[in-house]
Homo-oligomer: A and B are copies of this chain.
């Protein structure tokens, strides 16, 4: 069941980069929610290729079509199937790459796993394009979270060695979408943009990090042992292509911290229990403590680069060289921001449904 995820809110993904469509079925979505398709489209537009000069030039409108689960725009409790049709498909380059797995890509592992039958065009099932499904599903999840005043924020926190300084939630809200890098810190954004243009012109690519935050999640969400929240968030994040590290709170920094530094002391604030610091990233023992959930997701560089690279012709089992033409993002991080938000929203909505914070259907307004 490698194409489904979730317990109460189950997301099933289908489609290929150069197939007919990218689609998703969301099962377990509660009944009675008015779905604003414009909101979903807005999220999709943030993820869309061709949105700026530092993204691939593939032109996809990515117009979302809902083909089940709604009645007069309101969720019915039935599975919601959503699609975007692939339109600007150019598979011409992939035939010549058929037997020369591209370094950094999944071409070789796909070949072994699926016995050579995989849809190899445009990365097929392994393409970042599949995250379109995640964003459609995640946008639905966000609608549920909104009802509970939960907010999910994400932004580009680092690309190469350019890292944004600490920043307020309001700055993230206000400035993330103000630039194509999706970095709310203006100076960092500018430096990064220059870096990305340079790298693009060199035919190279680069990695980076997205920082994600969920605000206002009630305490008590999650489980000890195997059902812990970090584990599920992490599993979901790793389903996004190119993710190579997932950290919570102080993350890898914990290795160098003493207990007397890293322990988050409890305080009372207006009769509510909060913690003084938030090194645990809002999760203790796999369960939320009511503080912001914070995580950092590291993406490796886009593997498609035009520089010549060594590989092996797997048909003839001979070494050879590959140069990758075509349309590619010099860095996937800016477009990954809405994907990370969606991933986070889906996991949280799943837990909130399980914990009973969201019911099977919306109570009618009185």
Contact = CB atoms under 8 A, between A and B. Distances in A.
Interface in A23-55: 23, 25, 27-28, 31-32
Contact of A245 (B69, B254, B361): B254
Within the oligomer, what is the number of copies of this chain? 4
Interface centre among A116, A235, A236, A305 (most CB of B within 10 A): A235
B5 A226 contact: yes
Interface string A211-234: 000000001111111111011101
A137 to B, nearest CB: 11
A176 interface: no
Contacts of A319: 267-268
Contacts of A1: 4, 6-8, 10, 27-28, 226-227
A165 interface: no
Contacts of A219: 108-109, 112
A258 B305 CA distance: 10
A298 interface: yes
Contact of A67 (B20, B115, B121, B126): B20
A332 to B, nearest CB: 10
A109 B275 CA distance: 12
Interface residues of A, number: 155
A364 interface: yes
A255 B287 contact: no
Contacts of A7: 1, 7
Interface in A53-110: 67-69, 71, 74-81, 83, 101, 103-106, 108-110
Contacts of A235: 226, 231-232, 234-235
A334 interface: no
A31 to B, nearest CB: 4
A284 interface: yes
A15 to B, nearest CB: 5
Interface centre among A117, A232, A300 (most CB of B within 10 A): A117
Nearest to A112: B220
A148 interface: no
A56 to B, nearest CB: 14
Nearest to A121: B71
A284 B21 contact: no
A2 B28 CA distance: 8
Report, nearest first, the 7 A-B pairs whose CB atoms are least far apart: A106-B285, A2-B227, A115-B361, A112-B220, A104-B263, A2-B223, A205-B259
Given A31-B117, A206-B258, A271-B317, 11 more contacts: A14-B80, A78-B224, A112-B219, A116-B364, A130-B224, A207-B257, A241-B285, A244-B250, A252-B296, A255-B298, A273-B314
